[in-house]
Amino acid sequence: MKHLLLPLTIISTLITPMMANANNSVDKVSLKNAHQLRDTALKANLGFDIVESLTVEVGPRLAGTKADLIAVAWAENKFKSLGFDKVYKQPVQVRHWERGSAKANILAPYPQSLAITALGDSVATPKGGLKGELVFFDSVDELSHANPKDVKGKIAYIDARMHRHLEGKEYSTTVAGRSIGSSVASEKGAIGLIIRSVGTDSSRMPHTGNMRYKDGVKKIPAGAISTSDAMMLMAMKKRGKAITVNMELNTKMFKPKTSYNVIGEITGSKYPDEYILIGAHLDSWDEGTGAIDDGAGVGIVMAAAHAIKQYKPKRTIRVVLFGNEEGGLIGAKEYRKANASELHKIKLAGESDFGAGSIWRFDSQVHPDNLDVMAHINKILKPLSINDGDNKAGGGPDVSILPEVGVPVFSLRQDGTDYFDYHHTPNDTLDKINPSELAQNVAAWAVVAYVAAQADEKLLALPKKKAK
């Protein structure tokens, strides 16, 4: 996950139970099937097996790299071997940036190494590194108010802290230092940027993640040090002496490459041209094996669709594995553009991209006339300890750009308490996934997609939003 599900965060205090009641909008046989589907999926291991397969047989798959294309081939093969009716891919032009090696050392007053990693898209330092005195800020906001005299010629350091939270709150605020910090620092005359990792762990493992240079600013190299190193650095700062560091980031930007959204479908028996889209993103950062971000999502939605297959859904279940989410929803934007003329056929969409923690709440963002279908879903999700949510779902990063063109979405909200311990680090590996929690996810996704596919009433586009 790159983007925070900001709408979710904002509305988290506004839980209102959905207004409609379950009625005869879904037939009894389908409802019985949905219960069975849920209980079977809860006991199955397919979701975890898929994540294992992806992380073991492909591993990290940064967009633009060879491994990215290996992942694309893996996804096509996996869809086929799971018996999806239709498997195809859609080209996406992606940036191709590689990390290379990274190191940093405190030169004075107390020489020590720092565990550092480059931020995605950062330019390289000169060979041998970039040497400078650190100037300290608590947040990008404080940096933006700094006197350029205090920053000029120095390496800006941002020590923004983040704490564990069920919904990953604080990510949206903390991540600003990562995403725009280098541009703000550059405008103040800094020669480089180092941030405290945007993470909730206390570990010597830095968190990478995407950033973008503002047009027109001088591009300065940007890296993140681990939270352990950040604490050490702040303890060193207390000692009152100027701190100089050398940072060497051997990043490289190549020419753009072609990657793909990979799509697998279980064709609908009654309304084959109406789609329930469930997605995840196939790309990952390069340092872990992309297990929680977003191998878990890939396993969840593939396994959910596979479980639905035997019940011959009325509408088509379309699984979309988006390319290059980490680069800024690149595959999702291409998907929306390439399918512009038929987005109205997508009757409900959702993406799983927040790890593999248990789901605790179901939100939708559907036409009010279809809330009765959501009410059926709510009832079937209850035994999974999933609460009713509201009708203001974001849908997940790649899917978040669909409601504005009328596509209804849903969110199955996961426990993300430890998500930011591992997010975007080498520690994003299979062993962080609890197979039973993953199975609960598969069960919930199968229920939502299947019940929506079975609804006998028309599933409507979202009403147009009033201009603000």
- CA-CA-CA-CA torsion sign (170, 172, 175, 181): negative
Q: Which is nearer to a copy of itself, 320 or 430 (CB)?
A: 430
In SS3 terms, 315-352 reads as EEEEEEEECCCCCCCHHHHHHHHHCHHHHHHEEEEEEC
CB of 287 to a copy of itself, least distance (A): 8
CB of 127 to a copy of itself, least distance (A): 17
| Stretch of residues binding a copy of itself (CB under 8 A), selected from 38-46, 48-56, 79-87, 382-390 | 48-56
Query: Using CB under 8 A as the criterion, what x/- string covers residues 141-180 for binding a copy of itself?
Result: ----------------------------------------
Q: Which of 168, 288, 299, 327 binds a copy of itself (CB under 8 A)?
A: 288
Residue 436 touches a copy of itself, criterion: CB under 8 A? no
Residue 232 touches a copy of itself, criterion: CB under 8 A? yes
Q: Which of 208, 414, 427, 440 binds a copy of itself (CB under 8 A)?
A: 427
Q: Which of 82, 123, 205, 292 binds a copy of itself (CB under 8 A)?
A: 205
**Residue 124 CA to chain centroid, in angstroms?**
26
Rounded CA-CA distance 265/277 in Å is 9
Q: Which of 16, 21, 24, 202 binds a copy of itself (CB under 8 A)?
A: 202
Q: Which is nearer to a copy of itself, 56 or 405 (CB)?
A: 56
Give exposure, 198-236, as e/b (b: 16+ Cβ within 10 Å): bbbbebebbbbbbbebeeeeeebbbbbbbbbbbebbeeb
DSSP 385-407: T-EE--S-----TGGGGSGGGT-
Residue with tokens 């007053």: 109
Q: Which is nearer to a copy of itself, 328 or 435 (CB)?
A: 435
Residue 248 touches a copy of itself, criterion: CB under 8 A? no
Angle at CA 139, nearest 5°, toward 225 and 117?
15
Residue 438 touches a copy of itself, criterion: CB under 8 A? no
Rounded CA-CA distance 295/283 in Å is 9
| Stretch of residues binding a copy of itself (CB under 8 A), selected from 198-206, 249-257, 266-274, 334-342 | 198-206
Rounded CA-CA distance 281/61 in Å is 11
Give me the catalytic one of 76, 325, 326, 437: 325
CB of 361 to a copy of itself, least distance (A): 28
Residue 431 touches a copy of itself, criterion: CB under 8 A? yes
DSSP E strands: which ranges in 409-452?
409-414
Residue 343 touches a copy of itself, criterion: CB under 8 A? no
**Residue in 1, 18, 86 with CA at minimum distance from that of residue 280:** 1
Q: Which of 45, 139, 173, 228 binds a copy of itself (CB under 8 A)?
A: 228
Q: Which is nearer to a copy of itself, 115 or 349 (CB)?
A: 115
- In this structure, the number of other CB atoms found within 10 A of the CB of residue 152 comes to 12
Residue 14 touches a copy of itself, criterion: CB under 8 A? no
Q: Name beta bridge partners: 252.
A: 98
| Structural element, H or E, at residue 42 | helix 28-43
User: 57 catalytic, yes or no?
Assistant: no
Residue with tokens 């550092």: 116
| Stretch of residues binding a copy of itself (CB under 8 A), selected from 57-65, 159-167, 328-336, 436-444 | 57-65
| Stretch of residues binding a copy of itself (CB under 8 A), selected from 86-94, 104-112, 153-161, 397-405 | 104-112
Rounded CA-CA distance 444/35 in Å is 10
Q: Which bin fits 421, alpha (ψ -120 to 50), beta or left (φ > 0)?
A: alpha
Q: Which of 426, 435, 460, 461 binds a copy of itself (CB under 8 A)?
A: 426
Query: Using CB under 8 A as the criterion, what x/- string covers residues 303-342 for binding a copy of itself?
Result: ----------------------------------------
Give exposure, 5-35, as e/b (b: 16+ Cβ within 10 Å): bebbbebbeeeeebebebeebbeeebbebbe
Q: Which of 11, 44, 146, 231 binds a copy of itself (CB under 8 A)?
A: 231
Question: How many chain residues are in contact with a copy of itself, going by CB under 8 A?
Answer: 33
C-alpha separations of 134 from 142, 251, 342, 438 in Å: 15, 21, 53, 43
Residue 289 touches a copy of itself, criterion: CB under 8 A? yes
Rounded CA-CA distance 411/425 in Å is 25
Rounded CA-CA distance 390/445 in Å is 17
| Stretch of residues binding a copy of itself (CB under 8 A), selected from 21-29, 221-229, 306-314, 366-374 | 221-229
Q: Which is nearer to a copy of itself, 156 or 430 (CB)?
A: 430
Contact positions vs a copy of itself (CB under 8 A): 52, 55-60, 110-113, 115, 202-205, 227-229, 231-232, 235-236, 239, 288-289, 425-427, 429-432
Report, as residue numbers or ranges, the catalytic residues.
325
